[in-house]
């Protein structure tokens, strides 16, 4: 997915648009561009590469109506021609787009037959030629006609050099309008707007806005007027600054004790030993929960790993079968879902297209959908039946860290709430669970103090080409998450496996000095994990163990050990994932990787 910004007002807008793009760069960063209108003259500048390049070559760009874009390529390689904005044949109309046009080839063939000349390989360019085809002086109605021809998703911003207006519309991709004093800021998310205004209008699917000197008029694609609420967002600019850390990812790893406290704050009822979750109580009533015979968790990426961990403690406490599915698989599998299935969608951004589609599929099958979401106002958070905001604050590093642990603590609270509501968790167990949950933030603080030791270990392994991550039980998904973190930011090939599964295949990968990261806390699986370590050692592997403080035996057996505090089983994921986040971070940093914006990745994938 890409990042879009647009502006209509009295100020010179190129720096406003470009600074906004810099805030959205985590959404895509392979090429970018801008179009600005100045006295009926439209100037367009595009470049391959990062926004800072565009910034250098647009210092003298004048105008107070403009659109800009930072790209994550889906159709056509990342280069200057394929970057946005795209213009019509007469260079009068300019468009930026976030989304995918599924029927672009047939439209392109039709328009080429009509004499349109295409410059790029993108799907997006068909939109601007369609607008040109329908344009008879009214830009908005031409845009509407064009949008009605396309199948797919879009967040678009359109300008015409002759017109003092800005047209924006969405279907499937997020688009927000920031309301200022006689000026309007448009962007794919609020972080690109909040330095100018906190008054936001969230466009829904199939809504279109015309912004001109008369203000902002919003209708549907049938031109029926829509009254939109202006929402004041709580985010502040400091939250999206690096605060002296080298990378956003490192800052976000070190923010976890604080963000976890935020996630717990006011959500524990110490009188009844349950969780207070205002966002779900009206929906997840005792009467409804007693009918639930299955829980299905759907998500993508790191959020999916969070779902896998949740299965362990939710089944253990609630004795209800929990299935975890990749959202992209779930949505096309015609899943067996009904009104007694509780579906939980987990998404940091709240905009991941596959997870959104899975949500809609589940609702279509009358399931109730609970969202575990970070970004307030996001599409998934608005379409869920109810949910829990994880309060992790803006997560800018593309590799998710604090959102993962905040998702997990909120799912522990949800389990407590459901368990107490349907009498599956008794008071004693509830007291213990609450006590342990409240210990997590301080425990994470302790682990962060071992950062330098982890950095020293990273220095021994950052030249590795391959690695294996092993864990058993509730630590198996953490092995997957550790491997994903390393893959995402250091590009080292890493595989996570259930430790016992190693001998059924991946053991063939072991050669001399292959680094294997093993999660070996002193829990029920400890002895079994030790024998897996022996199997790997016997074949020359280097073992880096995550182990419980005070475990001397493992120090003798392994090449390196990262000690973590002892904590109850279902909260082990918290103490094990943070060292793996730091290990991946330091290995990638030693390799000089662009940690906050790893190649080919993006923070949330709003296209299929
Ligand atoms: C990927 C991100 O694009 O999407 C991952 O790079 C993330 O970090 C995954 O885990 C799912 O995103 P979300 O926002 O739905 O949790």
Atom of ligand 1 nearest to the CA of 403: 16
* Average pLDDT of span 469-490: 98
Residue 151, C-beta contacts closer than 8 angstroms, at least 6 positions apart:
101, 102, 103
Q: Is 148 a catalytic residue?
A: no
Largest interatomic CA distance in the chain? 80
Residue pLDDT, tens place only, 321-370: 999 999 999 999 999 999 999 999 999 999 999 999 999 999 999 999 99
Domains of the chain: 3-240 (3.60.20.10), 248-447 (3.40.50.10490), 451-591 (3.40.50.10490)
- What does the pLDDT read at residue 221? 96
CA of 82 to the centre of ligand 1 (A): 25
Residue 238 banded pLDDT, cuts 50, 70, 90: low
Residue 347 beta carbon below 6 angstroms from any ligand 1 atom: yes
Residue 605 beta carbon below 6 angstroms from any ligand 1 atom: yes
Distance from C-alpha of 99 to C-alpha of 432, rounded to nearest angstrom: 47
Closest residue by CA, ligand 1 atom 7? 301
Residue pLDDT, tens place only, 87-138: 999 999 999 999 989 999 999 999 999 999 999 999 999 999 999 999 999 9
What is the pairing mode between strands 207-212 and 215-220?
Answer: antiparallel
Residue 604 beta carbon below 6 angstroms from any ligand 1 atom: yes
Look at residue 236 and tell me whether its pLDDT is greater than 80. Answer: no
CA of 602 to the centre of ligand 1 (A): 8
Q: Which residues pair with 220 in a beta bridge?
A: 207
What average pLDDT does the structure give for the chain?
95
Residue 146 sits at φ, ψ, to 5 deg, of -65, -45
Residue 380 beta carbon below 6 angstroms from any ligand 1 atom: no
Choose among 20, 86, 8: nearest CA to 54. Answer: 20
DSSP sequence for 545-585: EEEETT-HHHHHH-SEEEEE----GGGHHHHHHHHHHHHHH
HEC per residue, 190-246: HHHCCCCCCEEEECCCCEEEEEECCEEEEEECCCCECCCCCEECCCCHHHHCCCCCC
CA of 421 to the centre of ligand 1 (A): 31
Q: Is 2 a catalytic residue?
A: yes
């Amino acid at each position: 997915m890409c990042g879009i910004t647009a502006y209509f007002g009295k100020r010179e807008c190129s720096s406003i648009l470009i600074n906004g793009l810099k805030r959205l760069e985590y959404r895509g960063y392979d090429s970018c561009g801008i179009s600005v209108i100045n006295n009926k003259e439209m100037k367009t500048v595009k470049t391959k590469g990062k926004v800072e390049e565009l910034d250098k070559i647009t210092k003298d760009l004048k105008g107070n109506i403009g659109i800009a874009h930072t790209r994550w390529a889906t159709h056509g390689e990342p280069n200057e021609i394929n970057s946005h904005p795209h213009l019509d044949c007469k260079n009068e109309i300019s468009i930026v787009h976030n989304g995918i046009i599924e029927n672009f080839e047939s439209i392109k063939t039709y328009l080429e037959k009509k004499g349109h000349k295409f410059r790029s390989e993108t799907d997006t360019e068909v939109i601007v030629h369609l607008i040109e085809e329908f344009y008879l002086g009214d830009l908005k109605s031409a845009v509407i006609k064009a949008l009605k021809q396309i199948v797919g998703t879009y967040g678009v911003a359109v300008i015409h050099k002759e017109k003092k207006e800005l047209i924006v519309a969405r279907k499937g991709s997020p688009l927000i309008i920031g309301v200022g004093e006689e000026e309007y800021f448009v962007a794919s998310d609020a972080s690109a707007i909040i330095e100018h205004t906190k008054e936001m209008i969230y466009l829904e699917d199939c809504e279109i806005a015309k912004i001109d000197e008369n203000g902002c008029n919003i209708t549907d694609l049938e031109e029926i007027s829509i009254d939109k609420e202006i929402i004041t967002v709580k985010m502040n600019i400091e939250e999206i600054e690096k605060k002296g850390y080298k990378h956003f990812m490192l800052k976000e790893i070190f923010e976890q004790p604080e963000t976890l406290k935020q996630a717990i704050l006011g959500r524990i009822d110490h009188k009844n030993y349950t969780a207070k979750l205002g966002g779900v109580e009206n929906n997840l009533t005792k009467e409804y929960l007693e009918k639930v015979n299955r829980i299905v968790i759907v998500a993508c990426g790191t959020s999916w790993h969070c779902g896998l961990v949740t299965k362990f403690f939710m089944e253990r406490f609630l004795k209800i079968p929990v299935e975890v599915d990749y959202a992209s698989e779930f949505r096309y599998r015609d899943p067996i879902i009904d009104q007694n299935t509780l579906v939980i969608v987990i998404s940091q951004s709240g905009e991941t297209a596959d997870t959104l589609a899975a949500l809609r599929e589940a609702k279509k099958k009358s399931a109730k959908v609970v969202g575990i979401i970070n970004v307030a106002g996001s599409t998934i958070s608005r379409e869920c039946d109810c949910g829990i905001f994880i309060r992790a604050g803006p997560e800018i590093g593309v590799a998710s860290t604090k959102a993962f642990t905040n998702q997990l603590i909120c799912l522990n609270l949800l389990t407590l709430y459901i368990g107490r509501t349907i009498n599956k968790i008794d008071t004693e167990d509830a007291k213990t669970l609450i006590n342990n949950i409240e210990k997590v933030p301080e425990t994470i603080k302790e682990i962060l103090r071992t950062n330098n030791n982890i950095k020293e270990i990273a220095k021994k392994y950052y030249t590795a080409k391959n690695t294996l991550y092993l864990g058993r039980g509730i630590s198996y998904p953490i092995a997957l998450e550790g491997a994903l973190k390393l893959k995402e930011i250091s590009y080292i090939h890493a595989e996570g496996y259930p430790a016992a599964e190693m001998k059924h295949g991946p053991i063939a990968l072991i050669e001399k000095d292959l680094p294997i990261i093993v999660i070996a806390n002193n829990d029920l699986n400890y002895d079994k994990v030790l024998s897996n370590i022996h199997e790997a050692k016997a074949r020359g592997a280097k073992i880096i163990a995550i182990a419980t403080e005070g475990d001397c035996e493992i120090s003798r057996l392994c090449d390196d050990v990262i000690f973590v505090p002892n904590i109850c089983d279902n909260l082990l994921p918290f103490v094990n994932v943070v060292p793996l986040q730091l290990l991946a971070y330091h290995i990638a940093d030693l390799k000089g990787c662009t940690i906050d914006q790893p190649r080919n990745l993006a923070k949330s994938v709003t296209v299929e």
